[in-house]
Chain A
Amino acid sequence: MMNRIIRRIQRFKGWFGAAAAFCIFYGLYLGLFDSPPDYYQGEVVRIMYVHVPLAHTSLMAYASLFLGSLWYLWKRDPLVDNMCQAAAGLTVIFTALSLITGAIWAKPTWNTWWTWDPKLISFAILLLIASGYLMLRTFVEDPDKEGRYAAVLAIVGGIDLPIIYFSAEWWRSLHQPLSISMRGVSMTGDILLPLSIMSLGLNLLFLYMLMVRTQMLYLTNLLQAKKGRLLSQVHLTQTSS
């Protein structure tokens, strides 16, 4: 009675988890021990190897939420809806983490926890949109409506995000003439390799988490549905006897 895809996920998700763990541990080794300290920032630059991949992954999470929402509106498959809900939760986790690590990186390099940089503004709004998405889902009773409304919000948000980024960039160029930049961090091989390994690892971890979370939501719904049916059966046997 269980969905075929869910069974397949149960069988194969372990590989994603293992690959993610391998890439992350290798990336941690490269980022923490193997790569040289930066000329200007010193050892603090190592925060980049966790912050930038986290930011990439949160964009990836929102992208999968956006595409999943389009797919859901097209096919109306409840499993896809579970996938979207899972992706939204993960977007919140990854965006919050990239904002926090970004603040920790900004303090020693820019001497402030927060600045109104277009990327920061866009990520903060991304966090707001994704949490609004999760809030919206808790306030709708009908599961079909829940999926549709949430998908509409995700699509509007996805179209809005690039516009938010560009308007924030114009706005900043008006109010904060280029005082802050990534000075001194040149993208050479020493930096690029740990960055891309870590990015790959976190993206794989995201896929793994997406599978697990989709499974979790699907099974919760399944259990609820089955319990409801069991109750109605009790009702049936009682009325028939």
Chain B
Amino acid sequence: MTFLRVIQWVVWKDLISEMRSRETLSSMLFFALIVILVFSFSFAMDQDAAQQLIAGIIWVSFAFTGIIGLGKSFSAELQNDALEYLQMSPTPKGAIYLGKMLGNLLFMLVVEVMLFPLFVLFFNLNIVEEIGLLLLIFLLATLGLSAVGTLFSALTVQIRAREVMLPVLLLPLAIPVMIAAVESTRGALNAQPLTLYFHWIELLTIFDVIFTVVSFWLFELILDS
């Protein structure tokens, strides 16, 4: 059961270092707040426009915040050559991937759960009935983002111009997640019947499964020194 233990330790390590420094979470939160402010100024929305646009705004801000978190996830390992210890450690690399991915997922979800009430507040959304479904959509879409994102975070951290390359590589690949997340969130926020947007949730699930497996296998090639 070393595999599960490694996952557990990697997640635990990330959580502890985050609890001590609070770097990632606080930078993600502040960035997201700024994004929300910029959006609300640049659109000047009334209630009807908000109904149409809000899902897109939510996911654009979540994705950008997520990229900040993902970028930090491995660049934190550069200090004291921690990355090399991860590379040299005799543990299965897939376990390190899963641990990192779960850590990223956790950070992104925490930020999303903290931000979403602000959206509800600022844009007068009605979410009481669909809250469980919305949380499921958030979980699935964030899992998809962090499945691909963790792989590319580990990849870009070892090259030059890493701050530029992570979004450049990640965002085109994450297009299906973005489309599916925006469409299903809009459906849930507008209280449409579930059958109208259920296929988007299915798409998210399929994407999550495929890319968790693919990244799990490919991660070994990335973290090989």
Contact = CB atoms under 8 A, between A and B. Distances in A.
Report A-B touching, CB under 8 Å.
Answer: yes
A107 B194 CA distance: 39
Interface size for chain B: under 10, 10 to 19, 20 to 34, or 35 or more residues? Answer: 20 to 34
Nearest to A140: B159
B160 A163 contact: no
Given A152-B155, A170-B199, A125 B172 contact: yes
Contact of B221 (A132, A135, A148, A170): A148
B155 A149 contact: yes
Nearest to B210: A159
Nearest to A148: B221
Interface of A is mostly: helix
Contacts of A164: 175-176
A48 B63 CA distance: 38
A164 B180 CA distance: 10
A139 B221 contact: no
Interface stretch (B75-83, B100-108, B116-124, B161-169): B161-169
Interface residues of A, number: 30
Contact of A139 (B160, B207, B210): B160
A155 interface: yes
Contacts of B222: 148-149, 152
A208 B85 CA distance: 45
A156 B165 contact: no
17 contacts: A125-B172, A128-B172, A129-B172, A135-B168, A139-B159, A140-B158, A140-B159, A155-B214, A155-B218, A156-B211, A159-B211, A160-B173, A163-B207, A164-B175, A164-B176, A167-B175, A170-B179
